[in-house]
């Protein structure tokens, strides 16, 4: 049984490392929040990298509490005027946007 311990430990260690690296590459980590209709706050937890999201309704005051940069756009499909928000930064409370991309390439 002793002969199998080392290879098994190496395989399990590699699997854990692979899953950890994959998880961090798939999600930005943290929270993206904004203000919607009637002043209600909305948020997304751990948004995926490099994916454009269109807002279904009025959105303003983007707050980037993720660990990476994001970009909000004035038009849907990540078009129009772009505003880049570094990790931990916020757009002015009245600044409207129609789409957002997290950790753009």
CA pair distance 39, 101, nearest whole angstrom: 22
Confidence at residue 105, expressed as pLDDT on a 0 to 100 scale: 80
User: Average pLDDT, stretch 11-20?
Assistant: 37
Measured between alpha carbons, how far is residue 24 from residues 18, 29, 48, 51, 55 in Å? 10, 8, 10, 15, 25
Confidence of residue 78 (pLDDT cuts 50, 70, 90): very high
Confidence at residue 102, expressed as pLDDT on a 0 to 100 scale: 94
User: How many whole angstroms from its chain centre is CA 60?
Assistant: 17
pTM for this entry: 0.73
User: Average pLDDT, stretch 20-27?
Assistant: 47
Confidence at residue 60, expressed as pLDDT on a 0 to 100 scale: 97
Count other Cβ atoms within 10 Å, centred on residue 34: 25
As a whole-number percent, the residues of the chain with pLDDT over 70 amount to 74
């Amino acid at each position: 049984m002793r002969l199998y311990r080392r290879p098994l430990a190496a395989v399990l260690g590699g699997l854990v490392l692979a899953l950890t690296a994959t998880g961090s590459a798939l999600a930005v980590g943290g929270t993206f929040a904004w203000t919607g209709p009637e002043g209600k706050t909305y948020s997304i937890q751990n948004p995926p990298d490099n994916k454009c999201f269109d807002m279904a309704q009025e959105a303003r005051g983007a707050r980037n509490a993720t660990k990476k940069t994001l970009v909000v756009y004035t038009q849907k499909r990540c078009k129009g005027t772009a505003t880049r928000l570094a990790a931990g930064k916020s757009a002015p409370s009245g600044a409207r946007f129609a789409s957002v991309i997290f950790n753009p390439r």
